[in-house]
């Protein structure tokens, strides 16, 4: 397991593969990295429009981290409270 953290330390992650390059800390805005020194700004999410198989409703999905726009917005709200 690897440990990743953002520059300010509010966002942390554990895992075998690093967080997506478009995932940043909602507080300090840097990417999560193994080193406390080496933080860069996250890439912008690359949204592609998909259509729900059941309802046919369009939704936006990031082609890099494979999260929907709604999911990402939700996630950032949750992270802010920590
Ligand atoms: Zn941070
Ligand atoms: Zn993304």
pLDDT tens readout for residues 34-82: 877 778 899 999 999 999 999 999 999 999 989 999 988 886 665 554 4
Q: What is the pLDDT of residues 22-31, one digit of tens each?
A: 988 888 989 9
**Burial of 23 per CB tally in 10 Å (0-12, 13-18, 19+):** buried
CA of residue 29 to ligand 2 center, whole Å? 14
Q: What is the pLDDT of residues 69-78, one digit of tens each?
A: 998 888 666 5
The confidence score (pLDDT) of residue 60 equals 96
CB-based contacts of 34: which residues, under 8 Å, 6+ apart? 2, 3, 4, 18
CA of residue 55 to ligand 2 center, whole Å? 24
Q: What is the pTM of this model?
A: 0.68
Distances (CA, A) of 77 to 24, 25, 32, 52, 80: 13, 11, 17, 24, 5
CA of residue 1 to ligand 1 center, whole Å? 21
């Amino acid at each position: 397991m690897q440990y990743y953290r953002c520059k300010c330390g509010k966002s942390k992650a554990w895992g075998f593969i690093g967080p997506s390059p478009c995932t940043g800390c909602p507080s300090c805005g840097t990417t999560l990295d193994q080193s406390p020194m080496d933080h860069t700004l996250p890439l912008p999410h690359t949204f592609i429009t998909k259509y729900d198989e059941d309802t046919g409703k369009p939704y936006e999905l990031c082609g890099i981290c494979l999260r929907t726009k709604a999911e990402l917005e939700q996630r950032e709200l949750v992270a802010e409270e920590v």
